[in-house]
Structure 1
Amino acid sequence: MIPVRFTPETCRTATRTLARRDLVLARLIKAHGPCTLGTRIRRDSFAALVRAIVFQQLSTGAATTIYTRVMATMNVTACPPPATWLCTPAESLRSAGLSTQKTRYILDLCRHVTDGSLDTRRLHRMSDDDVIATLTQVKGIGRWTAEMFLMFHLQRPDVLPLGDLGVVTGFAKVYGNGTKFTADEMTAHAEAWRPYRSIGSWYMWRALEAK
């Protein structure tokens, strides 16, 4: 069975369900409006993973600039297939602004795809846990990156990224008056959000925005 993913309609259903179950979350939903997870454009999985690596630990603006420069170095406007990356000298990628570490990570991803150890076409059919286990075999893709891929690319509805600083800080602001929760405490609280923990997490990020 192919795992469930968000659509705009299921996202609206999830929002209504969460508002009934969690009155604190209901106030956030009213303040910030509908969740937009189910409305995002899906790129191909390889391109999404490349972007995820490039954007790690950088501001959106800085990462976008580097990504654009790297694409220009390869004379393309969109992420090319792995063979193109592997044929491009690593020095050229670094000269475009990609760090040595991220260059290694992307080339390792390319090798996994090329040798068949990572079949990106199968990811959408895998369970969340299997996607995480598969992706974290690639250098530079940790659990957090895999969870963001699940939420924003595969649009899975029940992801709780406990290692995400925004989610942790949002929990502390919304439910703890600034006191941080442990991973176990957040997991226990988010049981009421199942099977829509991605939506609940999305509102933890929104809680950190000035409103």
Structure 2
Amino acid sequence: MASCWKISPVVRPNGEGRNRMQKTIAVDTPFFVPSYWEDAKVELMKRDRIMRKLIPQFGDLHLVGRGEAFTTLARSVVGQQISVKAAESVWQKFLLVCPKTTPAQVLKAGPEQLAACGLSKRKADYILDLADHFKAKRVNAEQWQEMEDEEVIADLTQIRGIGRWTAEMFLIFNLLRPNILPLDDLGLLKGISVNYFSGEPVSRSDAREVSANWEPWRTVATWYLWRSLDAVSAEY
């Protein structure tokens, strides 16, 4: 069975900390803080000289996750292969069409309204297929908390548009699994390149070798490498 970590809920307005001039859809959204975070920071700083320098730069900032599985996955699809800024812009338009972000609401909106949010036809189709899977209960959403990482990935990747990267983002941002290493993530590879190899290109093999020192906290190390490249953290 998967390890069960206590998750502490925090509720704050969506968009808190953003530029006040930026228009966002303001709703109260539950955020969840992984209880392992502080222990992971201490261990990573003991083991890894780069983490020892990097982690203190971000003070009390930490990964936050959302509890709604469908929302996390839909937002991950929106964010595929585009910048964090572009993804946020599309997501805000999406929320105007589907403010509750439920499968039924997405299916009712249909492909034309989703495309009007700035989604490509392919991404609109992916989100509609995702909504259909949830509504028809063709995924084991209620069991994901108890499943192993690879079992969750296998369940998710049966859905069109959900590849390994998107499934790993779900494990990080929704299930808050502590030891995910998303090797398909360009930000992770760039973070390793900049911080460990003086900007030289790195291979997956290089990334695996560096990350061996992070286990069982590879999610935490990945998050800090993302933040080292971009002060604005991606949200899913």
Give the TM-score of the pair, scaled to structure 2. 0.78
Deviation string, structure 1 residues 112-155 (Cα, Å, up to 9, x no partner): 22332213222222111111111111111111111111111111
Amino acid at match of 1:4: C
Determine the C-alpha separation between the residues in 1 that align with 2:184 and 2:106.
30
Alpha carbons of 1:78 and 1:59: their partners in 2 closer, same or farther (altered >3 Å)? farther
Instruction: Report the more deviating stretch, 86-95 or 185-194.
Output: 86-95
Query: Are 2:40 and 1:19 aligned?
Result: no
Unaligned segments of structure 1, at least 5 residues: none
Task: Tell me, yes or no, if structure 1 residue 196 matches structure 2 residue 220.
Answer: no
Are the structure 2 counterparts of residues 71 and 185 from structure 1 closer, same or farther at C-alpha, using a change threshold of 3 Å? closer
More divergent stretch after superposition (145-154 vs 86-95): 86-95
Judged with a 3 Å threshold, the aligned counterparts in structure 2 of structure 1 residues 205 and 61 are, in CA distance, closer, same or farther, namely closer
- Are 2:29 and 1:3 equivalent residues in the alignment? no
Secondary structure (helix, strand or coil) at the match of 2:66 reads: coil
Cross-structure match for 2:94: 70
Residue from 23, 36, 43 that aligns with 2:62: 36
Contact 1:161 1:167 in 2 (8 A): yes
Q: Larger strand proportion, structure 1 or 2?
A: 2
Q: CA RMSD in A?
A: 2.1
CA distance in 1, matches of 2:71, 2:130: 11
- Distance in 2, matches of 1:181 and 1:158, equals 20
Matched, 1:48 2:72: yes
Q: Say whether the 8 Å CA contact 1:12–1:34 is kept in structure 2.
A: no
Q: CA deviation at 1:8?
A: 4.9
Judging by fraction of residues, say which structure has more helix: 1
User: Among 135, 138, 143, which residue is 1:114 paired with?
Assistant: 135
Partner amino acid, structure 1, of 2:67: R
Contact 2:107 2:131 in 1 (8 A): yes
1:124 corresponds to which of 145, 154, 157: 145
Identity %: 37
Helix, strand or coil: the match of 1:192?
coil
**TM-score (norm. length: structure 1):** 0.87
Q: Secondary structure at the match of 2:125?
A: helix
User: 2:105: which partner in 1?
Assistant: 84
Count of residue correspondences: 205
Q: Which runs of 5+ in 2 are unaligned?
A: 8-32, 232-236
Q: Is the 8 A contact 2:140 2:155 kept in 1?
A: no
One of 136, 145, 148 as aligned partner of 2:157: 136
